[in-house]
C-alpha cells in the first residue's frame, strides 16, 4: 500500500498543484516524506517481505526521498522570497500614497492606514487591452458590463474627457471589483489627465497598480503613475517608479518604451 502511494504521488503531474499555495505544497511533501519513511522501514524489516517490489524500486525510493528533501528546501526559500517581495512592494506603494496625499490639500495623512501586502487579496482575472473590445480571460461579464465599458472607451477615444471620466467612475460603482476594474481605473486616469487633473489621475493609476499588479493593465498603470508623479514635480519618485517598469514587467515592451521616454523627459539618471 505504501509503495503504491509513494509511486503514485511521485508520478503525479505538476499541473495538479498549480492552484496550491507554497504552504499546501510543503504539506503534501511532508505527507509523502512520512510515507517514504514508513515504506523504508517496511522494506528493512526481518523475515520474508510481503511487498512485491518491481526491479530497482528501492533505488527509486531513495532517489525520490533525496529529491523531496531538495524540493522542500527550495519551496521554503521561495516562500521567503515571495514574502519579502510582497512586503517591499507594499512599503513602496505606501510611500507613494503618502507623497500623493502630501500634494493634495485637505488630505488626512493619518487616515491612510497601512498598505496591504501585495497579493493579500485576490486580483481580477487579467483582461486584454481596452480597444476594440475588452477581453476577460474567460470570466463571464455582468449584463451590460462590456457595453458600458465600450461606451466609456469611445468617449475617451473621441476626446470627451469629462464624459469618459464620469462614465468610467459610474462603471466602477456599478461593477465593483469586476474583471475590467483595473482597465477602468487606468482609463479614468487618462480621462482625468485630459481634464488637467493630474493628481487625481495619479491616484487612479496607483489604485490600479496596487490593487491589480498582475492584471494586463498593470504595466500601463505603473508607467503612467511614474509620469504623473514627474508632472506633479516629484521627479525623484517618478524616476524610481519608472525604473520599476522594466523589472516588474520585463515582457511588456510598449510600457517599457513609454517609461524610458518619460525617464528621458525627466532627465532620470
With pLDDT > 90 as the criterion, what percentage of the chain qualifies? Answer: 41
Position 100 scores a pLDDT of 73
Say which residues have a Cβ less than 8 Å from residue 100's Cβ, sequence separation at least 6.
Answer: 107, 199, 202, 203, 206
169 lies in the same domain as 257: yes
8 Å CB contact between 96 and 206: yes
62 lies in the same domain as 135: no
Position 39 scores a pLDDT of 65
Mean pLDDT of 119-129: 41
Does residue 168 lie within any of the structural domains?
yes
Domain membership of residue 158 as a residue range: 123-265
Band (pLDDT 50/70/90 cuts) for residue 124 is: very low
Position 33 scores a pLDDT of 67
8 Å CB contact between 226 and 255: no
Least confident range of 31-40, 179-188, 199-208, 260-269: 31-40
Q: Each residue of 26-56: pLDDT tens digit? A: 666 666 666 666 666 666 655 555 555 566 6
Nearest to 120 by CA among 210, 4, 227: 210
Query: Residue 236 is part of a domain; what is its CATH number?
Result: 1.25.40.10
In angstroms, the CA 133 to CA 150 distance is 7
8 Å CB contact between 209 and 174: no
Does residue 106 lie within any of the structural domains?
no
Band (pLDDT 50/70/90 cuts) for residue 10 is: very low
Does residue 108 lie within any of the structural domains?
no
67 lies in the same domain as 141: no
74 lies in the same domain as 153: no
Mean pLDDT of 128-144: 51
Look at residue 201 and tell me whether its pLDDT is greater than 90.
yes
Mean pLDDT of 151-167: 96
Band (pLDDT 50/70/90 cuts) for residue 220 is: very high
Least confident range of 9-13, 113-117, 188-192: 9-13
In angstroms, the CA 234 to CA 194 distance is 20
Give Cα separations from 198 to 39, 66, 107, 117, 262 (angstroms): 66, 57, 16, 26, 15
77 lies in the same domain as 131: no
252 lies in the same domain as 127: yes
**Count of domains for the chain:** 2
Task: Provide DSSP, 191-214.
Answer: HHHHTT-HHHHHHHHHHHHHH-TT
Instruction: Name the residue with cell 503531474.
Output: 13
Does residue 62 lie within any of the structural domains?
yes
Q: Each residue of 70-106: pLDDT tens digit? A: 777 777 777 777 677 667 666 776 777 777 777 666 6
- Would you give the DSSP letter of residue 260? H
142 lies in the same domain as 219: yes
Does residue 234 lie within any of the structural domains?
yes
159 lies in the same domain as 253: yes
Does residue 81 lie within any of the structural domains?
yes
In angstroms, the CA 97 to CA 169 distance is 20
207 lies in the same domain as 77: no
254 lies in the same domain as 149: yes
Does residue 244 lie within any of the structural domains?
yes
pTM for the complete prediction? 0.54
Does residue 48 lie within any of the structural domains?
no
157 lies in the same domain as 69: no
Could you tell me how far CA 31 lies from the centroid of its own chain?
30
In angstroms, the CA 57 to CA 228 distance is 63
Q: Cα angle at 165 between 187 and 235, to 5 degrees?
A: 60
Average pLDDT, the chain: 76
Band (pLDDT 50/70/90 cuts) for residue 12 is: very low
Amino acid at each position: 500500500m505504501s509503495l503504491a502511494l509513494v509511486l503514485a504521488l511521485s508520478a503525479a503531474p505538476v499541473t495538479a498543484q498549480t492552484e496550491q499555495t507554497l504552504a499546501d505544497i510543503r504539506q503534501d511533501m511532508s505527507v509523502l516524506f512520512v510515507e517514504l519513511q514508513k515504506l523504508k522501514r517496511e522494506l528493512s524489516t526481518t523475515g520474508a517481505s510481503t511487498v512485491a517490489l518491481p526491479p530497482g524500486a528501492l533505488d527509486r525510493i531513495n532517489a525520490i526521498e533525496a529529491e523531496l528533501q531538495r524540493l522542500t528546501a527550495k519551496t521554503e526559500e521561495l516562500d521567503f522570497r515571495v514574502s519579502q517581495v510582497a512586503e517591499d512592494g507594499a512599503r513602496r506603494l505606501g510611500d507613494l500614497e503618502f507623497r500623493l496625499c502630501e500634494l493634495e490639500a485637505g488630505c488626512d495623512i493619518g487616515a491612510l492606514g497601512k498598505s496591504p501586502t501585495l497579493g493579500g487579496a485576490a486580483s481580477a482575472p487579467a483582461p486584454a487591452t481596452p480597444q476594440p473590445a475588452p477581453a476577460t480571460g474567460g470570466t463571464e461579464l455582468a449584463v451590460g458590463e462590456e457595453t458600458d465599458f465600450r461606451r466609456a472607451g469611445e468617449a475617451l477615444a473621441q476626446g470627451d474627457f469629462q464624459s469618459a471620466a464620469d462614465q468610467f467612475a459610474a462603471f466602477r460603482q456599478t461593477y465593483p471589483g469586476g474583471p475590467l476594474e483595473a482597465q477602468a481605473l487606468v482609463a479614468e486616469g487618462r480621462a482625468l489627465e485630459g481634464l488637467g487633473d493630474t493628481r487625481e489621475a495619479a491616484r487612479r493609476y496607483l489604485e490600479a497598480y496596487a490593487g491589480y499588479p498582475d492584471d494586463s493593465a498593470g504595466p500601463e498603470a505603473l508607467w503612467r503613475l511614474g509620469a504623473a508623479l514627474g508632472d506633479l514635480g516629484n521627479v525623484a519618485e517618478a524616476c524610481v517608479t519608472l525604473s520599476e517598469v522594466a523589472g516588474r514587467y520585463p515582457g511588456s515592451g510598449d510600457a517599457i518604451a513609454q517609461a524610458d521616454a518619460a525617464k528621458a523627459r525627466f532627465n532620470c539618471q
